[in-house]
Amino acid sequence: MFYPGHGWALSSSGNFMDNDIDADEYIVTNTSSLSNVSAIHSALYTTARISPLSLTYYGLCLMKGNYTVSLLFAEIIFKSDRSFYSLGKRIFDVYIQDELVLKDFNIEEEAGGTGKPIVKNFTVVLTTHTLKIHFYWAGRGTTGIPARGMYGPIISAISVVPNFRPPIIVGKRNYLVVVVGAISAAIVIVLMVLGILWRKGRLGGKNSVEKELRGLDLQTGIFSLRQIKAATKNFDTENKIGEGGFGCVYKGLLSDGTVIAVKQLSSKSKQGNREFVNEIGMISALQHPNLVKLYGCCVEGNQLLLVYEYMENNCLSRALFGKNATCKLKLNWPTRQKICLGIARGLAYLHEESRIKIVHRDIKTSNVLLDKDLNAKISDFGLAKLNEDDKTHISTRIAGTIGYMAPEYAMRGYLTDKADVYSFGVVALEIVSGKSNTNYRPSEDFVYLLDW
């Protein structure tokens, strides 16, 4: 089997008998001009392919439908000059799609002599994608005249023309672009529809959160989105008092005059529905002066909101490391001591005094809030874990803030309440030194407590 390219393949079998030639020639060339043929078409008859027994052409990857198959013949080996070369007689059969279309075909007789072209046209119905044209020598005709080995089928050219209008097929690269573009457009449309449904609260996120909240014995209130929008003036940027990985925090005023802080979970937040429910479940069961108080929550549409008591002095991180004078507070030593004691009392309550023992897992200055009297209150319980009395430790996935995590927890996920104590130690060093753990760079000129 030989693949000449352009969607065609051919197969030739057999050997010429008694020609004493080691390498048979299967392409013959015409050296004289043909009669009754134009100069344009004469090139088609310059060469021809011959075969000693069987010659098959395969047209590959064709569309199904009706085709006109034209077979171009010319006897260019034998002569009509009444010489010895005129005594040869070539006879063979032709099959198309395994159907006999020419029986005992003699080119010289059909064309009216040698060196004259003749075209045989056939209408073929393709029900598959492959066209098969088979030329076969059945043993008839001469084999040794004018020379030994001059027999078998011969064909000059083949033409295959569809009897229908083929569809326009773009190039492979353009076709790929069209396919990718169509798929991308479909994906974008699907995502847009899902986004609209999600914004309207018609997907499962809201229902799953509400279902989990109903399963909790909450000691907090439920706020409507309308209430919170009214309190925050529709989340006015002037009421924004903070922003973190979880989203934005807004100051609000309820109709009864209560000042609140609204934590709005961002769609880009790493804190998912599980952490949202976890924070509500944890903090609603806790009541202590050094823990921030949760008033309630709101789950409507794509909105996940937590409503806390308002802390006038924002977070400890801002008070210690604020970038401008309005943010950064001047904290004297007694105040710093009071803040440390407040955090310690809050942790002692979580670890030992509460009816449920809790490991916070994310103690840091940005999670310690300060009220108007600079009393410290621990907040953000999204990563908190229950600490069961009958277990020496908890093996869990690592979560928290690098720089505040205890080594055994950060490296092996080995969690005990001592992890919070370690984090508290880092926070205490920040309070005493006034240097941020995350932004700290050591210096040769000074020695800080953080270097000890």
At 5-31, the pLDDT tens digits run: 568 888 888 877 655 555 556 888 886
More confident residue, 149 or 158: 158
CA-to-CA distance for 425 and 441, rounded, in angstroms? 19
- 131: tokens are 């066209």
pLDDT (mean) for 304-321: 90
At 230-241, the pLDDT tens digits run: 999 999 989 998
CA-to-CA distance for 318 and 328, rounded, in angstroms? 6
Residue 235 vs residues 266, 292, 448: alpha-carbon distances, Å: 13, 22, 42
At 182-237, the pLDDT tens digits run: 777 778 877 887 777 666 555 554 455 555 555 444 556 788 899 999 999 999 98
CA-to-CA distance for 360 and 379, rounded, in angstroms? 9
| Active-site annotation, residues | 362
Residue 137's closest CA among 169, 168, 108, 105?
105
At 70-91, the pLDDT tens digits run: 999 998 888 776 666 677 889 9
Cis peptide bond upstream of 146, omega within 30:
yes
Q: What residues contact 383, with CB distance under 8 A and at least 6 apart? A: 275, 278, 360, 361, 362, 399, 400
Q: What residues contact 347, with CB distance under 8 A and at least 6 apart? A: 360, 363, 378, 417, 420, 421, 424
Note whether 323 and 307 are within 8 A (CB).
Answer: no
pLDDT (mean) for 328-351: 94
Q: What residues contact 449, with CB distance under 8 A and at least 6 apart? A: 429, 432, 433
Say if residue 64 carries a ligand binding annotation.
no
Cα 328 → chain centroid: 46
- Looking at residue 47, its amino acid is T
pLDDT of residue 84: 67
245 has a pLDDT exceeding 80: no
Tell how strand 294-300 and strand 221-222 pair up: parallel
pLDDT (mean) for 18-47: 72
pLDDT (mean) for 253-270: 80
1 has a pLDDT exceeding 50: no
